[in-house]
Amino acid sequence: MTKRFLQALKGETLNPPPLWLMRQAGRYLPEYREIRASAKNFLDFCYTPDLAVEVTLQPLRRYGFDAAILFSDILVIPDALGQKVEFVSGQGPQLAPIKSEAELEAILNLDGLHEHLKPVYTTVHRLSKEIPETTALIGFAGAPWTVATYMVEGKGSKTYEEIRSIAYSDPVFFQRLIDMLVEATSLYLIEQVHQGAECLQVFDSWAGVLSERQFHTWSIEPMTRIVEKVRAVHAEVPIIGFPRGAGPLYEAYVRETKVDGVGLDHTVPLTWARDVLQPLTTVQGTLDNLLLVAGGEAMDAEIKRILETLGSGPFIFNLGHGIVPQTPPEHVERLCALVRGEA
């Protein structure tokens, strides 16, 4: 059976467009919160296939999305490479920072990558058998730059001043870190496809903080290499890139990485996306996730505007970033009805 989500990534224009939402399995759902409470910590949650499969399926039961995305986290890669990773309640991820080549050599290696990530692969395999036959399965990973921000700074950041400074002042170390992440991420994504993923999305959530030159060096170039490595093994599997906040650099990203689809954040002008990006690739997005929280006439009007502007080309409806915990589930239901022409 042809899956609408995969049709759109082949360049087909569909009416209504396929629909899924980033972080569609998450804390806004009461059934997710119930399952999450049964895990001792977030990494354990990600590494327990019974739990990860269940929460991946939850939003499909509620909303019938056209795609399911593996439930995991981008930081399983540094964890699998040997860096200490913890998720602390109220503080988010906490990592033992790596700030020099010596620390990189002492800690990280690829040897145990697949063995460490075996529970994630089990989840992918099970999902490939358990999701509805019309639903596509998306595997994913964080992009090297975004994952490196956590590895170097040891936690999330608002400014990314430290890592950007290190990338300028010690490019040899930083290139080695990025090279390792390119290799690890490629191996991880390739194995997800082996286990049943039908599409891959690479999240470069913090790409928007980079200067133009840094964006080419640390976002575009690593992603280009990942795409090449994955396609050398799985030429048929579509790849979506999401360099959030890239602004006008989205065009260079699409042209140089040769992704099959590009995720757009809510700041991207719709007519520019239609005129510049859509002739090059399938576009995905772009509703502001906080507008989904607000709901009402403003949300309805923006959904209509997105559909009218981007719906005449290859398009997948999504948010400009992941669903936030305070989102009312009934607003997601309303969004689905509007996109599908049922409201």
| Residues belonging to the active site | 23, 27, 36, 73, 150
> Both tokens of residue 20?
């899924």
CA distance 56 to 24: 8
Can you list the pairs that 176-179 forms with residues at least 24 positions away whose Cβ atoms lie under 8 Å? 176/101, 176/104, 177/98, 177/104, 177/144, 177/148, 177/151, 177/152, 178/144, 178/145, 178/148, 178/218, 178/222
* Residues forming beta bridges with residue 19, ordered by sequence position: 317
Give DSSP secondary structure letters for 150-182: HHHHSS--SS-HHHHHHHHH-HHHHHHHHHHHH
Distance CA 56, CA 49 (A): 10
Taking the C-alpha atoms of residue 86 and residue 94, their distance in angstroms, rounded to an integer, is: 5
- What kind and span of H or E run contains 256? helix 250-257
Helix (H, G, I), strand (E, B) or coil at 283: strand
Please list, residue by residue across 220-250, b when 16 or more beta carbons sit within 10 angstroms of its beta carbon and e when fewer do.
Answer: bbbbbbbbebbeeebeebbbbbbbbbbbebb
Asked if residue 206 lies in contact with residue 146, where contact means CB atoms within 8 angstroms, the answer is yes
Q: What are phi and psi of 310, to 5 degrees?
A: -105, -10
Which residues lie below 8 Å from residue 175, measured CB to CB, with a gap of 6+? Answer: none
- The runs of H, that is alpha helices, within 101-247 are 101-107, 113-116, 118-130, 144-153, 161-169, 171-194, 212-215, 221-233
Contacting residues for 298 by C-beta, under 8 A, at least 6 apart? 291
